[in-house]
Structure formats: C-alpha cells, structure tokens
C-alpha cells in the first residue's frame, strides 16, 4: 500500500523535478512517458486493493503532519511573492489572510497529539485516482509533440518546456494526494498546490494576456483558499476534529458552526470548479497551451472543486446548505449552457460546457441522494474522458489550420479526416444516448424529480446543450462537393492519446452497466438504480444502454452503406435562381456589378438572446445572491 501511495503522490513530484533539471528533450520525453505508464498501472493496482486507511510513519524524526504545515506556509509565502511581483492587492490580502488563519488553527487550536489517519480511500477516491492517473497521463504524453510545435510557432530561442512539464506532471501528484487525503489540513495543502500549478501553467507563454489571466486565476482561487481556511476553523471549533471520515460518520450536521464551515468549504469548491461568478478564471485559462486547458478541464483542478463538495456532501445532507448547493449548481448548469450558444470559438464552447457540467455535478452533490451521487460519479468519469478528447482535438486542429473557430472547421474532413472523425465522436459522446454523459444527465434529472426549481433548471440546461453540440458537429460534417480527403500525418504521441480517449469514451459507455454494478452500486446501502439486460432503470424511467448501442450500430452500418453508394454520384452546386456562374461548381452566383459571389454557409449564434454582454452580469449577480443565501442560511 505504501509503495502505491509513494508512486501515485510522490513520483509526479520527483518526475516533475527531473523534467526541470534534465534539459535534454529526449530524456524529458522518456521521463513523461515512463511516469504516465507507471501512474496508470499503479492506479489500477490501487483500485484492485479496494478501500483502505493509511498513515505514513515519521521521516527523519519529524511527523509528516509537521512537514505539511511547513510546506503550507512556504507555499503561501511563494504565492504572496507573486502577489507583490504582479502588484495585485487581492493576492496579497488573501495570502496573508490564509496565513493568519493557519497560525491560529495550527498553533493555538489543533491538538497535534490526536491521531488522524492521513490517507483514506473509498470507491469515489479510487475512481478519481484512475481518472487523474490515466486521463492526466495521456494529456501529458500528448503534450510532448504538441509543445515542440507550439514553441516552434512562437520562435522561442530558449525552450520553456522544462518548467512547463515540471508543473504539468506535478499537477497529477497533487490531485492524487488531494483525493486520497483524510486529514483536512492535507486536503487543503494539495488544494493550494493545484492553485499554484494552474497559475504557473496559465501564464506559461509569458504574453501580456497570459500573465493577466494567470493573475486572475490566482486571486480567484486564493479567495477559495481563504474560504477553505475559514471552513476548517469553523469545523474544528465545532467538531474538534480534522478527520474527514469521522466528520462524515457523525451524520448530517446540525450545529450552526459546523454548517457554516461546510458552507465555506463548498464555496471553496465553487471557486476551484469555476462556478458562477468565478467562471472568469477558467475562461481566461484558454490562453494557455492546449494540454493545460485539457488538464484543467478534464482530470484536474476543476475536478478538485467538485470532488471537495461531493466529499463533504453527506455531512450537510438534508440541510439548507444542501439546498443552496443544489440551486447554485443547477443555476450554473443552465446559465453556462445558455452562454455557450453564442460562442463560435471552439475552446470557449468547451470552457462554458465544462463549467456547465461541473454545475450539474455540484447540483447532484446538493441533491445528496444515492441516485444523485451515482449521477455525479458517472458525470465525473465520462466528462473527464470526452472533454479531454475534445480539447486535444481542438489543439490538434488549431495547429493545422491556425484557428479554433468552428466556422473555420467546415470541410475539416477533407483536410484532417482522422481528427475530424475523432472530434465528431467526442461531440456525440457529450450529446447523444447511449453515451455516458447523457446517462449521467438522465440520472441527475431522475434524482432531482422532487425539487421543482432544480429539475426545471436541469431540464432547460440539457435542452440548450443540444444546440451548441449539434451545431458544432454539423459544421464538421460539412464536406465540400467533389473533394477527396487528404491522408493525415500526425505524430505518434499525439495520435495515441486521441485514439485511446476516443475508444475510451465509447468503450466506457458500453461498459456503464457493469461499471455501475461493480464500482458504484456497492457504495450505497440500497441500490438507486437496477440493471437488467443492459438497461438501467429508476423510479421514473429507464435508460436502455445495450438496446441503444444496437440501434446505434445498425444506424452506423446504414450510414456507411449510403456513403459508399454516394461516392459515384455527380456533385451539383446549390441552385441560385438561375444566377449561377457558368462553369463553377462551388455554387457561386452572379452578384452586384456582375461579379461572382461565392455561397457560404454559417451558423446562427443568437447573440441578442445568449450573448455574454447580455447575460453575464445578470448571471453573476444571481449566482452571488444564491451563494450569500447558502452561507446565510447556514448562519
């Protein structure tokens, strides 16, 4: 057990330092590849061992708790340094506030003689470790050829890759430590490491806009750090424990101080998960290289936020805090689904989609029933795989065509046939049954059926989601008549993660009934759903996974048959009322001054209804009101 924990938590720290110190690109690539493979194997081995509790012994005569305390203050001093470096008052204030709170908590309140198990893993933790170690490792491997081309495009004289891979790989260890921590102080330490790593990675390119957005990410997440420290102080002052499992075992909280502490911890999770009104830092993170975006959105950082809320959810079940969490999450899900409709930038669509889906997971944590927790876990798994895939696809496309605008992706199949098909597959796994994201949404709506406001927001948000995904997929399927696709060349280390994630998004959906039976159902005393013949059924309906896959397979075979028949057809340009340009086969028509005008197709983005300028201010005000209501209700 200790060896697996060393590999999963400490190895990425060591490997990150090796990436920084060993400047030879070939050696660095081997370190990243080796670390990714070892993490993947270790995460599977840890899953096979099952739930556990573990506390490491002292090192050099000093307890690990003392070392973490020292590391906490050292990290906050580093963050404070960057607050002075960028002359940001909020970073300075939030760093000092955290240090003051930790001094009071650590030096005057906490009984350090009381034993608190350091690590604890249940099915939720083990599933998170699998996602972090496998999906995160694939993203790091993809980054090897991507960053080479990225730096060639920027014409850098000195490579920044050593520092880049230091923080990219370090992220994986911090996240594994976070989801395995049972001591709240350890959880906080890893929580803050993810804050610092994201700051360094967002500002990696060193441009003015990159630095601006990295600073915004740092102060927003530092605000969450202040809330986390405040939450720990309220919890310890009321329950006199830092043991998360002991806290959860005591049942749903009734003491005011404990509820306030849990509300602040949830607020910290909101900031990390970029929930409204904190979405700005994650939208700004799109300036970072694509592997950073993929890592932040899929398996790390934002997942830390939803994990924290989901981990503490049983402690506030049935309270006003739970209602507030459900309303905040549901509102973010709906509002960001609406905001995504007005976007044509592929990365921004993915960003709003991520924030929206994280809101759905947080809503499930607030609903706080076995059915809702099942939905949340399914959404975490399938969103991680599909969203990582889509971000890597957008990065691949952008490097080839020089744009991330979906309007520029029309006819992509002719230029990048493999990537086009993989991207379409990724979109469909976010959009259609029988894939896992829609399964999770169905479960969430089932679980929210007795909460009117929440279920309405979830249903409306799900409907809006269809608009932007279907529009993007339709643009990719557009194929200029008469053109034949050009074989696509792609680096092996880019192709391998794309194909693995693509197959994973489909294969895991096919395995979802078995995943539920063997991974999720044992977590609950009573089964929230039943599985019969590959059909998941609940009190309000059923989701026929295997029958739908059969229909999907038959439909795919029919589509391939139609495509095969269409290859011999003669292309006819769109008819323009007799004004077509003679001899042209692209649909050009005779326009003003008898000049040819090319026919172009475009999507509606409805900015008058869903534009950021129109909705963002209102959405942020409403979200702030809901958060104040949640914390105020706890008081």
pLDDT in the model for residue 603: 84
For the segment 88-110, the average pLDDT, to the nearest whole number, is: 96
DSSP code for 489: P
pLDDT in the model for residue 166: 96
pLDDT in the model for residue 590: 80
- Residue entry with tokens 């556990």: 52
- Does residue 598 sit within a domain? yes
Containing H/E element for 543? Answer: strand 541-544
Percent pLDDT > 70 in the chain is 96
Judged on CB neighbours under 10 Å (0-12, 13-18, 19+), 460 is middle
For the segment 447-452, the average pLDDT, to the nearest whole number, is: 91
| 242-248-254 Cα angle (round to 5) | 95
Q: Helix, strand, or coil here: 55?
A: coil
For the segment 421-438, the average pLDDT, to the nearest whole number, is: 94
Q: Evaluate if residue 380 carries a pLDDT over 80.
A: yes
| C-alpha–C-alpha distance, residues 282 and 358, integer Å | 12
pLDDT in the model for residue 173: 96
For the segment 314-341, the average pLDDT, to the nearest whole number, is: 96
Pick from 226-235, 247-256, 390-399, 424-433: least confident? 247-256
For the segment 271-292, the average pLDDT, to the nearest whole number, is: 94
pLDDT in the model for residue 559: 85
Of 484 and 235, which is predicted with more confidence?
235
- Does residue 51 sit within a domain? no
Q: Evaluate if residue 481 carries a pLDDT over 60.
A: no
Q: Evaluate if residue 139 carries a pLDDT over 80.
A: yes
pLDDT in the model for residue 616: 96
Write the DSSP string, 61-92.
TB-HHHHHHHHHHHHHHHHHHHHHHTT-HHHH
Instruction: Encode pLDDT of 203-253 as tens digits.
Output: 999 999 999 999 999 999 999 999 999 999 999 999 999 999 999 988 777
pLDDT in the model for residue 586: 66
Q: Evaluate if residue 488 carries a pLDDT over 70.
A: yes
Percent pLDDT > 90 in the chain is 77
- Does residue 433 sit within a domain? yes
For the segment 435-444, the average pLDDT, to the nearest whole number, is: 95
pLDDT in the model for residue 163: 95
Q: Evaluate if residue 561 carries a pLDDT over 90.
A: no
Q: Evaluate if residue 260 carries a pLDDT over 70.
A: yes
> 342-362: string of b/e by CB count within 10 Å (b at 16+)?
bbbbbbbbbbbbbbbbbbbbb
| C-alpha–C-alpha distance, residues 173 and 140, integer Å | 13
- Does residue 506 sit within a domain? yes
pLDDT in the model for residue 299: 65
| C-alpha–C-alpha distance, residues 478 and 412, integer Å | 8
Q: Other C-beta atoms within 10 Å of 590: how many?
A: 15
pLDDT band at residue 23, thresholds of 50, 70 and 90? confident
CB 498 within 8 A of CB 389: yes
Mean pLDDT of the chain: 92
| C-alpha–C-alpha distance, residues 314 and 417, integer Å | 47
Reading phi first (left if > 0) and then psi (alpha if -120 to 50, else beta), residue 368 is in left
Q: Helix, strand, or coil here: 606?
A: coil
- Does residue 53 sit within a domain? no
Q: Evaluate if residue 141 carries a pLDDT over 60.
A: yes
CB-facing half-sphere around the CA of 235: CA atoms within 13 A: 27
| 113-116-117 Cα angle (round to 5) | 140
Q: Evaluate if residue 578 carries a pLDDT over 70.
A: no
pLDDT in the model for residue 585: 65
For the segment 39-64, the average pLDDT, to the nearest whole number, is: 91
Q: Evaluate if residue 56 carries a pLDDT over 60.
A: yes
pLDDT band at residue 67, thresholds of 50, 70 and 90? very high
pLDDT in the model for residue 414: 83
CB 382 within 8 A of CB 327: no
pLDDT in the model for residue 156: 83
| C-alpha–C-alpha distance, residues 312 and 262, integer Å | 7
pLDDT band at residue 415, thresholds of 50, 70 and 90? confident
Of 510 and 539, which is predicted with more confidence?
510
- Does residue 539 sit within a domain? no
| C-alpha–C-alpha distance, residues 442 and 462, integer Å | 9
* Residue closest to 471 by CA, chosen among 325, 340, 322, 318: 340
| C-alpha–C-alpha distance, residues 559 and 563, integer Å | 6
Residue 413 structural domain: 318-522+588-635
pLDDT in the model for residue 583: 67
**Structural domain total, the chain:** 1
- Does residue 336 sit within a domain? yes
Q: Evaluate if residue 77 carries a pLDDT over 60.
A: yes
pLDDT in the model for residue 496: 95
CB 473 within 8 A of CB 456: no
pLDDT band at residue 92, thresholds of 50, 70 and 90? very high
pLDDT in the model for residue 1: 66
pLDDT band at residue 580, thresholds of 50, 70 and 90? confident
CB 204 within 8 A of CB 198: no
- Does residue 489 sit within a domain? yes
């Amino acid at each position: 057990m200790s060896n697996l924990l060393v590999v999963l938590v400490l190895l990425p720290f060591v490997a990150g330092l090796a990436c920084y110190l060993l400047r030879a690109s070939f050696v660095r690539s081997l370190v990243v590849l080796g670390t990714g493979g070892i993490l993947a194997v270790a995460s599977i081995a840890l899953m096979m061992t099952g739930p556990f509790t573990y506390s490491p012994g002292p090192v050099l005569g000093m307890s690990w708790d003392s070392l973490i305390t020292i590391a906490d203050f050292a990290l906050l001093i580093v963050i404070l340094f960057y607050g002075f470096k960028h002359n940001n008052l909020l970073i300075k204030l939030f760093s000092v506030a955290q240090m003051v709170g930790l001094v009071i908590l650590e030096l005057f309140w906490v009984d350090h003689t009381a034993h608190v198990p350091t690590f604890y893993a249940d099915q939720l933790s083990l599933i998170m470790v699998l996602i972090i170690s496998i999906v995160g490792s694939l993203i790091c491997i993809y980054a090897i050829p991507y960053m080479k081309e990225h730096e060639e495009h920027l014409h850098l004289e000195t490579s920044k890759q050593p520092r880049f891979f230091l923080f990219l790989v370090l992220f994986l260890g911090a996240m594994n430590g976070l989801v395995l921590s049972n001591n709240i102080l350890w959880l906080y330490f890893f929580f803050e490491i993810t804050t610092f790593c994201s700051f360094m990675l967002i500002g990696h390119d060193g441009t003015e806009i990159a630095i601006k957005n990295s600073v915004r990410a740092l102060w927003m997440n530092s605000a969450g750090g202040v809330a986390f420290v405040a939450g720990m102080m309220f919890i310890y002052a009321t329950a006199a424990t830092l043991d998360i499992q002991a806290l959860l075992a005591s049942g749903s909280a009734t003491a005011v101080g404990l509820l306030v502490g849990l509300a602040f911890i949830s607020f910290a999770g909101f900031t990390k998960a970029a929930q409204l009104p904190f979405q700005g830092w994650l939208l700004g993170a799109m300036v970072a290289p694509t592997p950073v975006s993929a890592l932040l959105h899929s398996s790390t950082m934002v997942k830390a936020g939803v994990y924290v809320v989901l981990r503490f959810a049983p402690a506030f079940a049935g309270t006003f805090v739970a209602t507030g969490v459900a309303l905040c999450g549901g509102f973010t899900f709906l509002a960001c689904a609406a905001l995504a409709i007005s976007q044509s930038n592929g990365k921004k669509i993915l960003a709003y989609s991520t924030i929206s889906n994280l809101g759905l997971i947080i809503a499930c944590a607030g609903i706080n029933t076995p059915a809702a927790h099942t939905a949340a876990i399914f959404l975490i798994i399938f969103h991680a795989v599909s969203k990582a895939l889509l971000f890597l696809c957008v990065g691949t496309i952008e490097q080839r065509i020089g744009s991330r605008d979906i309007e520029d992706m029309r006819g992509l199949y002719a230029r990048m046939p493999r990537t086009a098909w993989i991207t379409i597959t990724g979109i469909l796994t976010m959009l259609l049954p029988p894939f896992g994201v829609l399964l999770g949404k169905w479960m969430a709506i089932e679980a929210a059926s007795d909460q009117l406001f929440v279920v309405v927001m979830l249903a409306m948000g799900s409907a809006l989601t269809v608009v932007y995904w279907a529009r993007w997929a339709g643009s990719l399927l557009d194929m200029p008549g008469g053109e034949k696709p050009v074989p696509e060349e792609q680096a092996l280390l880019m192709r391998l993660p794309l194909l693995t994630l693509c197959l994973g998004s489909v294969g895991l959906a096919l395995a979802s009934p078995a995943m539920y039976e063997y991974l999720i159902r044992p977590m609950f005393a009573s089964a929230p759903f039943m599985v019969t013949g590959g059909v998941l059924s609940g009190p309000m309906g059923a989701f026929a996974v295997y029958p739908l896959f059969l229909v999907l397979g038959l439909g795919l075979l029919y589509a391939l048959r139609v495509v095969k028949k269409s290859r011999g057809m003669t292309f006819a340009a769109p008819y323009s009322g007799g004004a077509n340009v003679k001899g042209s086969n692209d649909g050009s028509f005779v326009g003003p001054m008898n000049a040819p005008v090319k026919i172009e197709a475009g999507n509606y983005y409805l900015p008058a209804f869903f534009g950021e300028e129109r909705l963002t201010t209102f959405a942020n005000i409403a979200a702030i009101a809901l958060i104040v209501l949640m914390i105020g209700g706890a008081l």
